[in-house]
A and B are shown apart, each in its own frame.
Chain A
Amino acid sequence: MQELVRNLQNISFFSNFSPTLLSILVMVAGGVLIATVLAINALVLVYLERKVSAWMQDRLGPMEVGPRGLLQTLADAIKLLQKEDIVPAAADKPLHLMAPLLAFAAPCAAFAAFPYARNIVFGDFNIGVFFVIAITSLTVIAILLAGWASNNKWSLLGGMRAAAQIVSYEIPAALAILVVVMQVGSLSFQDISLAQDGGIHKWLIWHYFPFNLIAFVILFIATLAECNRTPFDLPEAESELVAGFHTEYSGFKWSVFMLTEYAEMLIVAILSSVLFLGSWSSPIPGFLNSGAWGMFWLLAKAFALIFVQMWLRWTLPRLRVDQLMYLSWKVLTPFAFVCIFAVGLWMLV
C-alpha cells in the first residue's frame, strides 16, 4: 500500500497531493475496483459454469445471446435488476436487507489482504493469513441472518446447516494452513509468496512429501465446503430445502448471494494458490516472472482450481448431513493434525 502510494507520488500529476489524501484515493479506488472485479468475476464464472457443465453432459450450454452465448450472463444480470423484490410480510425486514450487504462486504474485505504480484498488494498485513480466515467467517453470520430473518422453515434449516457446516470445516482448513505457516515462519502472504519464488520446484505443495500434498487436499476440500459448493451444498439443497437460506430472496437480493458464492470461490482458489501453488511466481524460473505478470500467474492458478471446483460439482452427488460431519471431524481434522505433527518432526530432524 505505502509502496503503491510512493510510486504514485513519482507521477507528476499526483506529486502535490499529500500522502494521506493519496492513500485514501488509492483505498477508495481499490475498493471500487475490487467490487467491480467481483461482479465481473461472477458474470464470467456463471457463464463458465454453464459451459463446463454443458460440455461435461455433452450439451452446448448457452448459445443464443451474443456469440456462443457470451452475453447470456450479462442479460441475466440486467433481468435480475428489473425483477420485483419481494420481502415476505412475516420476515424481519431490516435483517432481511442486512444479510446480502454483509454477505458481499466480507469477501470484498478479504481481497485487501492478497498479494497480486511482487509489488502489488493493497494491505500487506503481517497477519494476512489469519485475517483472511477471520473475515471469510463473517459469511456465516450473513447466511444465518438470511435464514433467520426470512421466517421460513426451509431458510432456518438451511441457515443452521450452513452455520454447522462452515464452522466445522473451518477447523481442518485452518489446520492445513498452519502447516504452511510452520514452514515459512510468517503469517504474511507476501512472505509466503517470496518463499516460493523461483520455479515450480519451490512450490510448497512438493515440500515434505506427502504431508504438504495432503494438507493441500484437506484445504481444498474444507474450503469447498466453506463456499457451500456441491458436494457440500446442503444449506441450499434444492431437492429438500427448496433453496435453503435464500428461499425468500428474490430479484437483485437473490443475485447478491450468487455473487458472494462466486466471490468466495475466487477467494479460496487464490488462498490455495498463494499458500501451496507458488502464489504470483511463474512456474518456470525467470520466465515472465516480473511485475504485473504476477497477476496473470496468480489468476491462472486460481482459475485452474476453480475449474476443478466446477468439475467436482458436476461429478459428485451431494453428501448427507451426517456424512458431512463425519468427513470434517473424523477424517479431515485428524489428518490435518497428523500433517502438523509430521511436518514439525521433519523440520526438527
Chain B
Amino acid sequence: MLFDFSVAFTFFLIGAAFIGVNLLISRMLQPRHPTAGKLSTYECGEQPIGQSWIQFNNRFYVIALIFLIFDVEVAFLFPWAAVFKKLGLFAFVEMVVFVAILLVGLAYVWRKGDLQWDKPETGKYARAAAPEFYSETPAPAITPKEELVSEPV
C-alpha cells in the first residue's frame, strides 16, 4: 500500500522536474532584455497604484468555512459509503441523522444569505448597513432640477 503511494509521490516529483527542465531549456533559448516598463505590474496600461497584497472581501472566507464543514462531512461519508452494502439499514439511518444535522446547517447558511455572492439580504447587519433597501416607506422620488433657462442677452 505504502509502495503505491510512493508511485504517486514519484509522479509528483517527476511532474515538477519536467517543468523545471523545460524552464531551464527555455531560459537558455530566450532573450533577456528587462526594462522598467516591462517589469512593472500590469494594470491595463496605467501606472500601477499601490500593492495588491491587501485585505479583501471576506465573502471568500465564508465560502471557505462552509466548504470546510462540508468537506469534513464528505470525508466521513466516504468510509460509510464503502461499507454501506454490508451494514444495511442501521448504517443508512445513522447517516440520515448525521447528514440531516449538516443539512440544517446548509439551510441556516442559505437563509442567512451567506451563499449569496452579492450583499446578504437578511440579518440586522445588512439592514443596518443599507437601511434604504429595507425601509417600509418607498424612497423619496427624485425631484427634477429646475431647468436653467438661458436669459436672452
Contact = CB atoms under 8 A, between A and B. Distances in A.
A247 B42 contact: yes
Interface residues on A, range: 35 or more
B10 A28 contact: yes
A31 B25 contact: no
The majority secondary structure among interface residues of chain B is: helix
Contact of B99 (A130, A248, A337): A337
B26 A104 contact: no
B18 to A, nearest CB: 4
A253 B23 contact: yes
Interface stretch (A52-60, A165-173, A206-214, A220-228): A165-173
A60 B32 CA distance: 36
A88 B11 CA distance: 31
Nearest to A85: B30
B13 A105 contact: yes
Nearest to B83: A185
Contacts of B15: 31, 34-35, 104-109
Nearest to B35: A86
B10 A322 contact: no
Nearest to B86: A185
A7 interface: no
B43 A27 contact: no
Contacts of A88: 39-42
Contacts of B78: 129-130, 178, 181, 187
Contacts of A130: 78
Interface residues on B, range: 35 or more
Interface string B62-87: 01101100110010011001111110
B120 to A, nearest CB: 12
A109 B11 contact: yes
Interface stretch (B49-57, B124-132, B133-141): B49-57
Interface string B1-12: 101111111111
B142 to A, nearest CB: 28
Contacts of A253: 23
B12 A35 contact: no
A21 interface: no
B8 A113 contact: yes
B108 to A, nearest CB: 13
Contact of B71 (A83, A131, A171, A326): A171
Q: Which of B14, B51, B92, B106 has the most CB of A within 10 A?
A: B14
Contacts of B89: 348
Contact of B56 (A152, A160, A174, A344): A160
Given A182-B81, A347-B84, A122 B12 contact: no
B60 A164 contact: yes
A153 interface: yes
Contacts of B34: 86
Contacts of A348: 88-89, 92
Contacts of B57: 160
Contacts of A123: 4-5, 7-8
A11 interface: no
A251 interface: yes
A185 B4 CA distance: 21
Nearest to A89: B39
A183 B57 CA distance: 41
Nearest to A175: B74
Contacts of A252: 22-23, 26
A135 interface: yes
A235 to B, nearest CB: 12
A151 B48 CA distance: 10
Contacts of A186: 82
B7 A122 contact: yes
A65 B51 CA distance: 43
Interface of B: 1, 3-16, 18-20, 22-23, 25-27, 29-34, 36, 38-44, 48, 51-53, 56-57, 59-60, 63-64, 66-67, 70-71, 74, 77-78, 81-86, 88-89, 92, 95-96, 99, 103, 106, 110, 115-118
7 contacts: A34-B14, A105-B16, A124-B4, A156-B56, A164-B59, A252-B23, A252-B26
Given A112-B10, A171-B67, 8 more contacts: A27-B10, A88-B40, A151-B53, A155-B52, A164-B60, A242-B44, A337-B103, A348-B88
Nearest 6 Cβ contacts at the A-B interface: A108-B15, A31-B14, A123-B4, A322-B117, A105-B15, A123-B7
